[in-house]
Every structure is written in C-alpha cells, then in structure tokens.
Amino acid sequence: MDEWKPNPTVKPHKKRSWYLAWKYKLMNQRALRKLCQTGAVLFLLVTVIVNIKLILDTRRAAYEEEEESAQDYDDEMLNVEVPRHPVSNKKVLDVEVYSSRSKVYVAVDGTTVLEDEAREQGRGIHVIVLNQATGHVMAKRVFDTYSPHEDEAMVLFLNMVARGRILIFTIKDEGSFHLKDTAKNVLKSLGSQVAPFLSWRDMWTFVGKKGGEVYGEKHAKSPALSTWGDPVLLKTEVHLTSVEDAECHWPDTELNRRRKRFCSKVEGYGSVCSCKDPTPIEFNPDPLKDNKVFDVPVAVIAGNRPNYLYRMLRSLLSAQGVNPQMITVFIDGYYEEPMDVVELFGLSGIQHTPISIKNARVSQHYKASLTATFNLFPDAKFAVVLEEDLDISVDFFSFLSQSIHLLEEDESLYCISAWNDQGYEHTAEDPSLLYRVETMPGLGWVLRKSLYKDELEPKWPTPEKLWDWDMWMRMPEQRKGRECIIPDISRSYHFGIVGLNMNGYFHEAYFKKHKFNTVPNVQLKNVESLRKDAYETEIHRLLGEAEVLDHSKNPCEDSFVPDTEGRVYVMFIRMEQEADFTTWTQLAKCLHIWDLDVRGNHKGLWRLFRKKNHFLVVGVPASPYSSKKPSSVTPIYMEPPAKEEGAVAVPAVAAAEQT
C-alpha cells in the first residue's frame, strides 16, 4: 500500500490547476477549453477520492479479517484446557504395594491407585491390572477369598486378562481360607513362589507380568491362628514396553479403532479384546418387518456396574429390530468404565451428577434420564426404559412393535412391561400370550410421554424423599387404576446380583428361575383382546371354559392340578375385600413365585401356568369374577404362619430357596 503514499501530493496540483483554470478563464473566454479543463480537474478529484476510499476499504477489510473471529465468534467461556501430562517416555514405573490386616494400598509412580482401610470391608485379595505400555490402571477387583466361590471368580478374571499385562496382588485381612488349589496354581503359573503355601492370615504382595517376568513378591507368615502376619511393603520397578507391543494388530476399521481404545483402557471383558478372533462388537440383527418401535428412544439406566452394562448392551444390540441411534445410556455418576463400555459399542452416553442418597439417588437418576430422553427425542410419544442388569430377549422389539398401539389408543393402560413378576420356569408357558395386570412390573418397560410429562414429572418425588421410584409409580395416586400389559414369558431377564436392593440369596430365590423368552419372531396372539372391554369378554370366556379344580385338595400339592396339558383350570380362594391378599400370599409362597407383595393381579384374578395348563385363581368374594364360582365350592383359605417378629421377608426367602 506504500504505492499510494504519493497520493496526497496530488492535492496541491489540484489546487493549482483550479487556480490556473480561473486565471485562464479570465484571460481566455473559450468555452470548450474551459470545459475540458474543469473536466480534467473533476476527473482528477474523483480519482483521488476513489483512491482514498479504496485504501480505507482494503485496510478495513484486512483489519476485520484479523479481528472477526476475536469477537462474536469467540466462545465466551474460556475453556482453558488443562495441559495433559505429556506421555512420559519413561520406561520404568515405581510400584509400591502394601498388605496388612486393616489396610492395603498400591501406589504407581507415587500416585495412589488403591487405598482401602475401611473397617469390615475389602477383605481378601485385591487385584490391579496395569497397562504394560502406559502404566494406566485397567481394572481393579477384590475377591473375598475368605468366602467360598470367590476364588473361582478370581480365576475367571485372571484368565480373561490379556497376556503381557501387569498384575498387582495384595491381601487385606484374610485371603486364604477359601483359596482352593486351582486358584493357587493359577497364581503359581503367574510366577508367584508363595501362593501355593499361602495360609491363614498371611500377608502377601506380588507384582508380575502375565505370562512373563516377576517384578517382586513379599510375604509375612502369620505366627499363630489368632494373629495376623506383619504388614508387608513391596517396592519394585516395572519396565514398560512399547505401545506397539501392548496392542493387538486388528485390521484398521472404525470398529477396531473403538475396540482398540477400549482394550487399551480396561481389562476383564474377555474375548472382546482377544488379538485373535475377538468377539464382534457390532451385531446387525435382522431388522423387523413393519417395526413400529424403530423410532422409539431407548433409555438405559446405569450405575457403576460396567460388566453388567457390557452384558446388557450386547443383548440389547443383538435384539431384532434394535435401532442403536435411539439408545442413550444414562450413567449415574462420573464413572469412566461404564462410559468406555458405551463408547465401545458406539452408543451415546450421558453422565449424571448423583443427587441425594440410596433410593432417592436412583429415583432422581430416573427422573433426569427420562426428562433428558424426551428432550433429546422431542418427537417421541414413548420411551423404552431399561436397566443395566437386564438381558433383553431377541424378540423384545418385536413384542413391543406388536403391542405398542394399545398404549397409544387405550387410555386405561399405564405401561407395557417386558417382565412378568409371576413368570417362573414352572409358571409360564406361552410366549404368544399377554395379560393385563394392575401392578407395574418395570424391568424393561414402555412409558408414554404424555403420562410422564403431564402427570409424573411435575410431581416426581423430590431428592429428600427416600422413595423407590417404582414403588412410587405403583401408588394408587399415580397409577389411578390403570393397568400394564405384560407377556406370560418375560422378554427381559434380571441377572443383577449386586445392587441397591439386591443380594445373592435374594436373586437366587426370586429371579434366577425366571423364564426368559429365547424364541425369535413370536407372533403374539389376540393382541386386540387386551383392550379394556375386550379383555373382560376374554376373561369371561376363559372362566366359562375353565374346569373347577378339586377344592378339597391342598393347592400347594402338585396333585392339585391333574396331569394334563393345555387345559384351563380355575380355583377359588378367599379374598374378603379388594386388599385382602392373605390366602394369595400363602399360595404364592408355596407355589414358589413372587410373594413379597402382590403382583400380577387383575380384579382379584391371577393367571399363570401349572403343569402346562392355564391356571386361574379367583379371589372370592372381592373379585367381580366370583359369580363364576359354583355354589358347591368353598373358597380355599390358607392361614399365614404365626408371625415372627419383624421378619417378613426372611421366611419367604427361605421357602423359595427350597425349590
């Protein structure tokens, strides 16, 4: 632009020419000449102005280009990115492992990666898996090998860990009581010298590479039965390998990139990270013809049980008619590993800051997840709600696709659920049969948006109320007499053993023997008869055709139902008013079905199967179906056992365990 500097020099010229022109005009009156001169001068003037304008314009343009992004388009929040630790080229890791009666810790390069000094917790062998190239913690587990079967779980886990990983072991309190030889041999094969001789209350630490060298081992023997071995502290160095060596060489595809990211971060997912023939992470199940739930969002409610989530998502993504784009996983808390699992499958996940405690925390998480689901999919009329500890049946979406129009059209419906509370191995038979029930089973269900937005969301229990969301939803104020549709054979399976309201015994008693449909493409029968009035007609037809069982026999006995197949039987029990479930509860108990509260009833009627016969139970006289009772039949009454103080659930569990 320097070229334009001479420009100002034009000005004097201009002035002089003007002056000259005047002078000339005075002297010479020739009009043409005058015109020419003024023309030339004007021309000059215009040039000067245009020049100046151009310079200014280009200057401003250049200036704007520099400035433009600096203002409007800047993110107002200064996202100062925390500089990540540069990947250290260090080849050696310092590892410290401590084992004692009341405290264990593991520190890697000065960073504590495990510390447990809680009382009455964390007993057994703690295992940590490190990535041999980066030193990152890939898995943390504790196996209470003081208790039975935990050593088997440990063996299973250790076998899943990829070769080359660094394993760190330390014992807290006691870890040998139920440590069987198999497990000891596995530890020995890892290079431990001490493992085969580990005994009562010994302290032990061990660091080694799976299938490779041993970095260190320390052991303190317990001097006597009543005392513990002295605390041991193992300090050792681990040599890191190159990243190349730590990874498998899968073909470079989008899927394998996800797999690689996952497998370099976490351990304990078995063959998904095998270098040879890894388990697929994309399933491509058959699409459903005329899938009415393809556009229905699926919310997966999760906590910090990544292994469960992994199993759950596998089954969900294998179900026919699944649409992965509609799936969102809501994780309660900022846990990394569940998020890793979600990303492995290429799904979207959202983390939720935990609010409140216990049940209220779960219930707040549900609320946030449901609200978010309907915000993210504003077009959706429904949402499928799943939990991380469910297996999903292969025909789950087919089941919903065939029944979802009912939820849209029948105002008297509350939900469609994939779970039949009473559908055990011995009480469910027909995959094509559906029921209407007055209870809300949950465990894989469909929620109508209008129900949520207009009724549930505005009055959802607040964080300070320690209520179970599902119990709250079952309350008459919410349910308002509406019913849910359920299948005879459940389309979900509850496999969770650890959980807020769950433990091994409880699971064994109430969930393990639940029937789960594995048949694809089941054509549901008589879906239309599930509508409010049609269902009554259907029930009356059923009761009309049903054979009355011999009420003199004990209904708990197997012989109560004849050895037939495919018949319909009815029995009548005493039920004084609508809320009188005394006899039902006893019957449920001896039939080994859900007896902790009343589930699966419809106007005082229960429907299940016994010995492959449809088996109806009618509560007399509370049920409107009581009129079907022949006058000669006396309803059966079963007395509850003498009540033990404060223990309601325990005998029930005990009873169920006898199965």
Told to judge if 470 belongs to the known catalytic residues of this protein, a careful annotator would answer: yes
Q: Which residues contact 4 (CB under 8 A, 6 or more apart)?
A: 51, 55
Q: How far is the CB of 74 from another protein (least distance, A)?
A: 6
User: What's the sign of the alpha-carbon dihedral 607, 608, 613, 618?
Assistant: negative
Beta strands 232-239; 92-99: pairing state: antiparallel
Task: Please answer whether residues 390 and 495 qualify as being in contact, where contact means their C-beta atoms are separated by less than 8 angstroms.
Answer: yes
CA 492, CA 400: separation in Å to the nearest integer? 12
Report the distance separating Cα 584 and Cα 586, nearest Å.
Answer: 5
Closer of 372 and 653 to another protein (Cβ) = 372
Task: Write out the H or E segment, with its range, that includes residue 279.
Answer: none
Report d(CA 125, CA 145) in Å as an integer.
Answer: 7
Residue among 202, 395, 470, 595 flagged as catalytic: 470
Number of residues that bind another protein (CB under 8 A): 59
Amino acid at site 220 = A
Task: For CA atoms 239, 244, 249, 255, give the dihedral sign.
Answer: positive
Taking phi first (over 0 means left), then psi (-120 to 50 degrees means alpha), and beta for anything else, what does residue 481 get?
Answer: left
Question: Does 281 participate in binding another protein (rule CB under 8 A)?
Answer: no
Q: Which of residues 414-453 bind another protein (CB under 8 A)?
A: 453
- Does position 375 interact with another protein (CB under 8 A)? The reply is yes
Residues facing residue 115 across a β-bridge:
105
244 binds another protein (CB under 8 A): no
How far is Cα 382 from Cα 414, in angstroms, rounded to an integer? 12
If one asks whether residue 368 binds another protein (CB under 8 A), the answer comes out as yes
Pick from 378, 481, 566, 646 the residue near another protein by CB under 8 A: 378
Strands 568-575 and 547-548: parallel
Residue 643, C-beta contacts closer than 8 angstroms, at least 6 positions apart? none
* Interface residue with another protein, options 8, 51, 358, 501 (CB under 8 A): 51
Q: How far is the CB of 561 from another protein (least distance, A)?
A: 48
Alpha carbon 213 to its chain centroid, in Å, reads: 38
Binding status of residue 112 toward another protein by CB under 8 A: no
Judged by CB under 8 A, does residue 372 bind another protein?
yes
Amino acid at 468: D
Which of residues 51 and 111 has its CB atom nearest to another protein in the complex? 51
Edge-first strand order for the sheet with 104-108 is 111-116, 104-108, 92-99, 232-239
Site for another protein in 29-48 (CB under 8 A): 36-37, 40-41, 43-44, 47
Is 115 a residue that touches another protein (CB under 8 A)? no
Q: In angstroms, what is the minimal distance from the CB of 20 to another protein?
A: 5
Q: Bridge-partner residues for 238, per DSSP? A: 93
Q: Which residues pair with 170 in a beta bridge?
A: 126, 205
Which residues make Cβ contacts (< 8 Å) with residue 582, sequence separation at least 6? Answer: 574, 637, 638, 639, 640
Closer to another protein by Cβ: residue 8 or 544: 8
The correct pick among 49, 60, 68, 121 for binding another protein (CB under 8 A) is: 68
Instruction: Choose the binding region for another protein from 75-83, 147-155, 191-199, 484-492 (rule: CB under 8 A).
Output: 75-83
In angstroms, give the least distance from the CB of 496 to another protein: 24
Asked about 181 being catalytic, the answer comes back as: no
CA dihedral (333, 337, 342, 346) in degrees, to 10, reads 130
Query: Which residue number, 28 or 554, has a Cβ lying nearer to another protein?
Result: 28
Catalytic-role residue among 389, 410, 468, 488: 389
In the set 117, 118, 196, 334, which binds another protein (CB under 8 A)? 334
Q: How far apart are CB 353 and another protein at their closest, in Å?
A: 4
Shortest spacing between CB 4 and another protein, in angstroms? 9
Question: Which two tokens mark 644?
Answer: 């033990």
User: Residues 80, 224, 579, 642: which binds another protein (CB under 8 A)?
Assistant: 80
Among 134, 256, 307, 351, which residue sits at the site for another protein (rule: CB under 8 A)? 351
- Of 2, 120, 244, 254, the residue at the interface with another protein (CB under 8 A) is 254
Does 74 bind another protein (CB under 8 A)? Our answer is yes
Which of the residues are catalytic? 389, 470
Contact positions vs another protein (CB under 8 A) = 3, 10, 13, 16-17, 20, 24, 28, 36-37, 40-41, 43-44, 47, 50-51, 54, 58, 64-65, 68-70, 72-76, 78-81, 254, 257, 325, 334, 348-355, 368, 371-372, 374-379, 453-454, 458-459, 462
